[in-house]
Amino acid sequence: MNKSEKLRNHRLHPISILYFIVTAIKESVSYIWVFPLLVLLVHKQISEHISPFMIIFVTVTFLILLFIVIAILKWQSFTYRIIDGAIYIESGLFVINKRWVHPERIQSIDSTVRVYDHIFSTRTLTIELAGGEESSIILSCISKEEEQRLRRVLGEQIHVDSIDDHFDDSVFQLKNSNLILHSLLSPKFGIVLTIISGALLKYLDVTKETDRETLFTHLSNWLGTYWIVVTILMVILCSFALSLLITFVSDYNFKLYKNSNGDLEIEQGLLEKKRRTVSKNRLQAIIIIEGPLHRLLGYASIKAVIIRNSQDKEGEKTITLLPFVKKEYVQSFLEPFTGYQMINNFKVLTKRAKFHYIVLPGILGSILSIPIWLFLQSNYYVFGILLPIGFLFIGLMSYKMTGWNQGDDFLTLQYGSLSRKTAIIKRGRIQWSSIDQTYFQDKGNLASIRIAVASGKENVKLSLSNIPIEEAETIYQHTLITERS
């Protein structure tokens, strides 16, 4: 790179003006209440000469033009250049912000290809920094060549030559066939099915009886004698199609691999293609999630708790490493990709814990069923029977799923009721821990322990309830040694 190229200021693609328009609108949302007040004030003053529709039209047009002007000015004031292996960025309209981005301050470099980026062959680069008042820098609508140039300047090089069907030393790709099964087993399918079914039931509830009979007659003529069964099947197929569409949009062409620095790279998306960088030293914990159907069929998803500073992602405490994978491949993925180890030998709860997991929930469910029997109609009595049974079932499942293993390098916790979760925490990643003990736990020599793992401004909290007090104290002492070391 010659000297003139280093000192030349670069601008974003003009299409990034759209990004600055959206940013300006988001920044002015807190002042949205001014708009109706302005319309009412103008309408009160000149309502005799101008119609309310014209007032609203002129006001909206003025605001749109204002946002466009602000966006153009922001785009013109945003420049960057590369100097001595770092990026120097200037931005701001009235107050000029000058920032230096050095490679040692960077935590991750993520890129996103939105719908309009496909048209202009551009992408958005998000550089997440370690600390500081502004924890991320967004370069919207830059070319693919510019992205690669910036990544090289910031010390990141990526080499991906081939992709195998399953795992090799550095690459994993999710097949479309797995995406279909993932869509069917994911909560999205149940959510979509519930929404569609609820909408149909609501329609039947609000319509008149004659209208319902007319609808049933049409369905019978169109679908035949078994129109009820066919309608149910159509609702299920429609729910699955929508769930499949949502899954493909978010996880299509999911690819995970390691770059030359040993960091993880994640690519996914159909309309909006995303690429994330996860540094191995930012991994705080690994969480393996097995839903009820996933556990039955031998599948799981893997998430990671990582340190995040970006303000627009502070609510996202975990990142998905693999959305769908066979349970038998979990161990072969964890070791080469993350350095974490899956433990299968767990310590389990004692029989004294059954009182807290089964007896107490059963009593609570029985107490809650009393108002159902006393105040509701006989049609709802079945809920009075199912409530304590449901509490007992969930308590029993929680009792069976709870386990822990404390090794020299990892603390592994297993918990859940319907879904089983396994959290693997590396030594030195625990922020704090505490032991809680109730009166009944004290009588049974039991206790509950809480553990916090850092993730941005808030911690991810994990807990085990009603484990032997000796085990809780051992885990607690282990975390103290970890903090001191």
Per-residue pLDDT tens digits for 89-135: 888 878 888 888 887 777 778 888 888 888 888 888 888 876 555 56
Report the pLDDT value the prediction gives residue 87, as an integer from 0 to 100: 84
Per-residue confidence at 160, pLDDT binned at 50, 70, 90? very low
Taking the C-alpha atoms of residue 447 and residue 470, their distance in angstroms, rounded to an integer, is 9
Lowest-pLDDT choice from 47-61, 323-337, 353-367: 47-61
Per-residue confidence at 161, pLDDT binned at 50, 70, 90? very low
Report the pLDDT value the prediction gives residue 398, as an integer from 0 to 100: 94
What number of other Cβ atoms are within 10 A of residue 461's Cβ? 14
Q: Parallel, antiparallel, or unpaired for β 318-326 and 171-173?
A: unpaired
pLDDT at 163 over 50: no
Whether the Cβ atoms of residue 95 and residue 45 lie closer than 8 Å to each other = no
Per-residue pLDDT tens digits for 54-89: 777 777 888 889 889 988 998 988 998 888 778 888
Lowest-pLDDT choice from 184-188, 234-238, 402-406: 184-188
Query: Scanning the structure block, which residue is given the tokens 């605001």?
Result: 63
Report the pLDDT value the prediction gives residue 465, as an integer from 0 to 100: 92
Taking the C-alpha atoms of residue 75 and residue 98, their distance in angstroms, rounded to an integer, is 15
Per-residue confidence at 49, pLDDT binned at 50, 70, 90? low
Per-residue pLDDT tens digits for 173-230: 888 888 888 888 888 888 888 888 888 877 777 777 777 777 777 778 787 778 888 8
Whether the Cβ atoms of residue 74 and residue 84 lie closer than 8 Å to each other = no
Residues near 251 by beta carbon (within 8 Å), at least 6 away in sequence: 174, 179, 182, 268, 269, 323, 324
Task: Mark 176-186 as b/e (b = at least 16 C-beta within 10 Å).
Answer: eebbebbbebb
Lowest-pLDDT choice from 164-178, 283-297, 411-425: 164-178
Q: What is the mean pLDDT of the chain?
A: 82
Taking the C-alpha atoms of residue 317 and residue 269, their distance in angstroms, rounded to an integer, is 20
Percent of the chain past pLDDT 70, that is, above it, reads 87
Closest CA to 256 of 302, 224, 297, 208: 302
Give 253's DSSP letter: T
Closest CA to 475 of 443, 438, 448: 448
Report the pLDDT value the prediction gives residue 314, as an integer from 0 to 100: 43
Whether the Cβ atoms of residue 371 and residue 384 lie closer than 8 Å to each other = no
Taking the C-alpha atoms of residue 457 and residue 462, their distance in angstroms, rounded to an integer, is 16
Cα angle 315, 318, 320; round to 5: 130
Report the pLDDT value the prediction gives residue 458, as an integer from 0 to 100: 65
In this prediction the pTM is: 0.79
Most confident of the following: 11-15, 29-33, 105-109, 315-319: 11-15
Per-residue confidence at 448, pLDDT binned at 50, 70, 90? very high
Report the pLDDT value the prediction gives residue 134, as an integer from 0 to 100: 59
Instruction: Report in angstroms the alpha-carbon separations of 78 from 16, 24, 73, 376, 440.
Output: 11, 14, 9, 65, 63
Residues in the chain: 485
Per-residue pLDDT tens digits for 283-305: 889 999 999 888 889 999 999 98
Cα angle 277, 282, 283; round to 5: 100
Q: Return the H-helix or E-strand segment holding 391.
A: helix 381-401
Report the pLDDT value the prediction gives residue 18, as an integer from 0 to 100: 86
pLDDT at 315 over 50: no
Give 355's DSSP letter: I
pLDDT at 467 over 70: yes
CA 42, 44, 48, 53 dihedral sign is positive
Report the pLDDT value the prediction gives residue 435, as an integer from 0 to 100: 92
Closest CA to 406 of 449, 351, 442, 443: 449
Whether the Cβ atoms of residue 286 and residue 334 lie closer than 8 Å to each other = yes
pLDDT at 11 over 80: yes
Q: What is the DSSP secondary-structure string of 101-137?
A: E-GGGEEEEEEEE-HHHHHHTEEEEEEEESSSSS-EE
99: tokens are 């920032």
Whether the Cβ atoms of residue 302 and residue 333 lie closer than 8 Å to each other = yes
Query: Scanning the structure block, which residue is given the tokens 């509830």?
Result: 205
Whether the Cβ atoms of residue 15 and residue 141 lie closer than 8 Å to each other = yes
Whether the Cβ atoms of residue 281 and residue 227 lie closer than 8 Å to each other = no
pLDDT at 474 over 80: yes
CA 84 to chain centre: 37
